[in-house]
Chains A and B, each alone.
Chain A
Amino acid sequence: MLSRLLWGIAGVTATLLAVSVVSFLLVALLPGDLALLILADAATPERVANLRAQLGLDQPLAVRYLWWLGNVLSGDLGRGIHSGQPTLDVILSRLPVTLELILLTQVVALGVAIPLGIWSAYRRGSSIDTATLIGSLCLLSTPAFVIGLVLIYLFALNLQWLPATGFVSLGEGLGGNLQSMVLPVVSLALIEVPVYLRLLRSEMIGTLQQNFIALARGMGLPTWRILVENALRPSSLNLITVVGINMGRLMGGAIIVEQMFALPGVGQLLVESIYQQEYLMTQGIVLFVATMFIAINLITDLVYALVDPRLQRGREH
């Protein structure tokens, strides 16, 4: 048990280090004079010389990496060239919007996918099942921004039920905040539904053929109780893993959806930093987001162990 835990920690540390190397190289390998590139139009001889010294550009790459890593570990990801604000502060100030978007999306996507997945597995081959599968394939074939455009066209412009842009933060009121989140969340959730639905359906079909389901049926339990209480849990193990892994995919979707609906989140910040060639901001976001997702996957593994009692027992022996 202990050695397993230690190996796990070592593995995560190694991955984090490797991720930091990649993030470092993302900027260090930029062709040309790094200080000039980073400062761009804000470059004065004095500032270039300062930044050169700060980045240690006359040092070998490995030394620069260690130097940079030391700064990162103390929370210093550099400063914005135009704003002068610390990169980490800017990222953290944008984080709540993105986290809200991603979490609401997971809730909505699972809320739609779980009942549909259970039902289409139970009524396998029925017209509902077929319609669900075709619908899934359609959604899998549509970019999130196209779904967003359709939703904006229908619900914001024609019916005028919901705002297309104009983010209301949580601090300004929950109602307005949720209203401004509906369209972005639905756009993003609709491309996740087919992923979860198809996975749960195929796992569920396997589970429903097991003996303990036949036993529950023989005991005369109502169908919905068998499906929800007996079949869902053993069928949802892979789903939990995929929900965790999908946080990364959702971050990608969030970039596009935030840009589309003008949500001031990390995704929009990343696109802005690319447009404005704020390389240190880009680097900071890449490192931050990757670290966050490694942590999330670690948590997913722990949840997995909680849901699957076999894993816990396996560890005790």
Chain B
Amino acid sequence: MQPRLPLGVGLAVTWLALVVGAAAMADWLPIADPTRQSLLQMLAAPSAEHWFGADSLGRDIFSRTIYGFRVTLAVSLGSVALGLLSGGALGIVAGYFQGVAERAILMGVNVLLAFPPLVLIIAMVAYPGQPLLKVIIALGIVFMPAVTRIARANTLVYREREFMIAARAVGMGDARLIVRELLPNLVPALLAYSLLLVAVAALAEAGLSYLGLSVPPPTPTLGQMMASEQSNVLEAPHAVFFPAGMLFLTIFALNVVGEEVQRRIDRRARAA
């Protein structure tokens, strides 16, 4: 039902490729050391040397933004993969085998959904442990229930389709049936949803790092960069708004791509 947005999906994909590429290869790019401080460059305005200017410790904001995206990407991709695998498996088991397993899984899903997501995430992040891993696991657990529901709903739809019944009739076992026949049909719906989840995860990581609950300094994270510079926002708006703008563009691009994929899948489903 959504009209086609007059925005280049190609542009969005290009932007995402740039961000992912820069973050992945940050160590080899000719950019400043993100942790190197310089009193002379304190809150320096954007220039040819410092594209995004420098922060209150004279560190290069462009370089810190690129390194900050590493945490954003690791958390987004890791947590969505975790949510997708665990939720997908649970949803398939619930929808395919039904019975007691289904009821137990749905009960667990409802319990997790009873907690406000960020409250649960923050409570889990409070555990002692490796920060990056904690954030990934906490977000992954919070993503699990919705994925479980989608996987289950789709499994219920395909379970009684002719090709499944036929495959069962020729003696295909449950495991092979799930992997060979069912799973390929679940991929489109789960893929579209997971693209939107990546955007949600990036937003959540920004919020957590803004609160100081994601990966601690000296590793730069986008939220923590903005939190530590917000008291200087009047003198040096660039120190806050350049990282903010980069984060916004990236999440916006993710959403544009996610909606396009969703639109194509909807259209295909209507055509079928």
Contact = CB atoms under 8 A, between A and B. Distances in A.
B119 interface: yes
Interface string B1-45: 111011100000000000000000000000000000000000000
Interface residues of A, number: 56
Nearest to A292: B116
B256 A137 contact: yes
B114 A294 contact: yes
A153 to B, nearest CB: 5
Contacts of A253: 118
A174 interface: no
A102 to B, nearest CB: 11
Interface string A275-317: 1010100110110011001100000000000000000000000
Most chain A beta carbons < 10 A, residue from B119, B203, B211: B119
B211 A255 contact: yes
Given A130-B3, A149-B233, A19 B115 contact: yes
B120 interface: yes
B248 to A, nearest CB: 5
B5 A252 contact: no
B251 A157 contact: no
B237 interface: yes
Interface stretch (B61-69, B121-129, B164-172, B177-185): B121-129
B210 interface: yes
A243 interface: no
B210 A145 contact: yes
Contacts of B234: 153, 157-158
B219 interface: no
A90 interface: no
A290 B122 CA distance: 14
A88 to B, nearest CB: 17
B118 A252 contact: yes
Nearest to A133: B5
Contacts of A149: 226, 230, 233, 240-241, 244
A134 interface: yes
Contacts of B116: 247-249, 251-252, 289-290, 293
Interface of B: 1-3, 5-7, 107, 110-111, 114-120, 122-128, 199, 203, 206-207, 210-213, 223, 226-227, 230, 233-234, 237, 240-241, 244, 247-248, 251-252, 254-256, 259
Given A290-B115, A293-B115, 9 more contacts: A26-B124, A130-B5, A134-B7, A137-B256, A141-B255, A142-B248, A271-B122, A274-B122, A289-B119
Interface of A: 14-15, 18-19, 22, 26, 30-32, 124-125, 129-130, 133-134, 137-138, 140-146, 149-150, 152-153, 157-158, 202, 205, 247-249, 251-253, 255-256, 259-260, 270-271, 274-275, 277, 279, 282-283, 285-286, 289-290, 293-294
